[in-house]
């Protein structure tokens, strides 16, 4: 069985065909790899400038070297029929994916971003695709999209053969100016076609419908832009503004570049993701503390002159028994002897320091009489105000936690009862 060849390339099988090309899966015996070989129909050969234009455009596309443009490996002519050799894409076409239904918005944003960057690169080199459609967006084995057929679309400018009309391209994706066969096409005609592809990916159907290719072309020229939310109401509301701008009849009102359109689609996807996250979010439930809290003291002590801050109530303790007056005098004497023995007499300015008492109680005055054998005499008398005498006198407020204050001449001595140290 003889293997069919085009040039040195061995034809394995036909992958597909359209109005302007037939694509074969072929093998390159020199490089030992599979390739996609696209053969141009012979009806395009009647123009004497065809070969020159084809060669120039194939070289321009090969020089683009963009990650999202199908690489061109070779171009040539066999038996008078031009062909282009490209990388073989094994992941199928976008047309096949859309046939299964609308695509999710995050996936659409990813595809549009990659394809738009490829278009912007080609436009910056002066190349207009003119035949942008889902069948010309191919996927590799890693599910990455690629744009193909740049050279063929530009090359067909030399011919007016398209289903018996003067139109070049695919009517379902043509811009109004392209449908009118305008000569001054620019990058915005590709932006319009990308908008049609976006509409189709979002809804699973094309924006315009007609029984004939010419009817489709006229619809792009005259019919108003469809309301995408009427076709698919569950889409995010901002989709409407994006589609209306991408498919504007007046190209001056469209996105200036494909990248601008892609950026708005990415913002749509981000908006949708944010709103979905807010819809399913729930209040955060506090978990266990990462470290244990320090224990709360049983009795909170507040230094003199400071105000105690509010806190948990102290743990109940057994109340102390109120000391008798004799016991109080003995305690005071012991405290005085301890302080004198240690040299711990603290002389402060002649100020009367009020000492707070936890509960009201009658005051007592204890007079100390010098003698060989010290003795204590207790007298229960009301004391409306402090008394200053030449005889040292000790004034105290009886009760739990009381403090003895000694007033001698112009000095005040503060003592802490011994009982407080023995707790």
Contacts of 96 (CB under 8 A, 6+ apart): none
Q: What is the pLDDT of residues 40-52, one digit of tens each?
A: 777 777 766 666 6
Q: What is the pLDDT of residues 310-367, one digit of tens each?
A: 444 444 444 444 445 455 455 555 565 554 555 544 433 333 344 444 444 444 443 4
What pLDDT does 404 receive? 42
DSSP 211: S
Q: What is the pLDDT of residues 113-124, one digit of tens each?
A: 999 999 999 999
Beta bridge partners, 150, equal none
CA dihedral 59, 63, 69, 75 (to 10 degrees): 30
Asked if residues 153 and 131 have their Cβ atoms less than 8 Å apart, the reply is: yes
- Of residues 401 and 202, more confidently modeled: 202
28 is catalytic: no
Kindly indicate the confidence band of residue 225, based on its pLDDT and cuts at 50, 70 and 90.
very high
Percentage, residues of the chain above pLDDT 90: 40
Q: What is the pLDDT of residues 242-257, one digit of tens each?
A: 999 999 999 999 999 9
The mean pLDDT value for 392-413 works out to 43
DSSP 399: S
What pLDDT does 62 receive? 78
CA 209 to chain centre: 40
Catalytic residue of the set 28, 74, 120, 131: 131
Which strand ranges, in their side-by-side order, compose the sheet holding 9-17?
A: 5-6, 9-17, 22-28, 33-39, 81-87, 72-78
- SS3 for 182-203, per residue? CCCCCHHHHHHHHHHHHHHHHH
Asked whether residue 26 carries a pLDDT value surpassing 90, the answer given is: yes
Cβ burial, residue 255 (10 Å; 0-12/13-18/19+): buried
pTM to 2 decimal places: 0.62
SS3 87: strand
Exposure string over 372-399, b if 16+ CB within 10 A, otherwise e: eeeebeeeeeeeeeeeeeeeebbbbbeb
Kindly indicate the confidence band of residue 20, based on its pLDDT and cuts at 50, 70 and 90.
low
Q: Phi then psi for 227, rounded to 5 degrees?
A: -80, 110
Asked if residues 6 and 48 have their Cβ atoms less than 8 Å apart, the reply is: no
Contacts of 149 (CB under 8 A, 6+ apart): 21, 38, 129, 131, 136
């Amino acid at each position: 069985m003889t293997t069919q060849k085009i040039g040195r390339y061995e034809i394995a099988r036909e992958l597909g065909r359209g109005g302007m090309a037939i694509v074969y899966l072929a093998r390159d015996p020199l490089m030992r790899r599979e390739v996609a070989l696209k053969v141009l129909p012979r009806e395009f050969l009647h123009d004497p400038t065809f070969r020159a234009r084809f060669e120039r455009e194939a070289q321009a596309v090969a020089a683009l070297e963009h990650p999202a443009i199908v690489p061109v490996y070779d171009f040539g002519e066999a038996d008078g029929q031009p062909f282009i050799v490209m990388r073989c894409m094994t992941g199928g076409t976008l047309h096949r994916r859309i046939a299964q239904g609308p695509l999710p918005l995050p996936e659409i944003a990813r595809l549009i971003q990659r394809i738009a960057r490829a278009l912007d690169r080609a436009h910056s080199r002066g190349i207009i695709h003119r035949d942008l459609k889902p069948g010309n967006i191919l996927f590799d084995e890693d599910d990455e999209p690629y744009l193909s057929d740049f050279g063929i679309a530009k090359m067909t400018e030399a011919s007016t053969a398209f289903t018996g009309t003067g139109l070049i391209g695919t009517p379902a994706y043509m811009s109004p100016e392209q449908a009118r066969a305008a000569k001054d096409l620019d990058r915005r005609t590709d932006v319009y076609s990308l908008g049609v592809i976006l509409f189709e990916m979002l809804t699973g159907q094309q924006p315009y419908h007609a029984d004939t290719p010419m009817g489709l072309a006229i619809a792009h020229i005259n019919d108003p832009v469809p309301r995408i939310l009427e076709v698919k109401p569950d889409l995010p509301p901002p989709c409407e503004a994006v589609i209306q701008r991408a498919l504007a009849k007046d190209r001056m009102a469209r996105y200036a570049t494909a990248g601008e359109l892609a950026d708005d689609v990415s913002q749509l996807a981000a908006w949708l993701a944010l709103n979905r996250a807010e819809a399913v979010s729930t209040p955060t439930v506090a978990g266990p503390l990462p470290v244990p809290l320090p224990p709360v003291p049983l009795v909170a002590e507040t230094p003199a002159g400071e105000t105690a801050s509010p806190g948990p109530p102290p743990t109940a303790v057994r109340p102390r028994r109120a000391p008798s007056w004799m016991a109080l005098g003995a305690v005071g004497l012991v405290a005085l002897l301890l302080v004198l023995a240690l040299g711990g007499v603290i002389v402060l300015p002649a100020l009367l320091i009020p000492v707070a008492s936890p509960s009201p109680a009658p005051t007592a005055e204890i007079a100390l009489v010098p003698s060989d054998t010290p003795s204590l005499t207790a007298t229960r008398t009301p004391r409306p105000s402090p008394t200053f005498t030449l005889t040292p006198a000790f004034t105290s407020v009886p009760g739990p936690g009381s403090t003895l204050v000694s007033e001698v001449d112009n000095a005040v001595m503060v003592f802490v009862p011994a009982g407080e140290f023995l707790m």
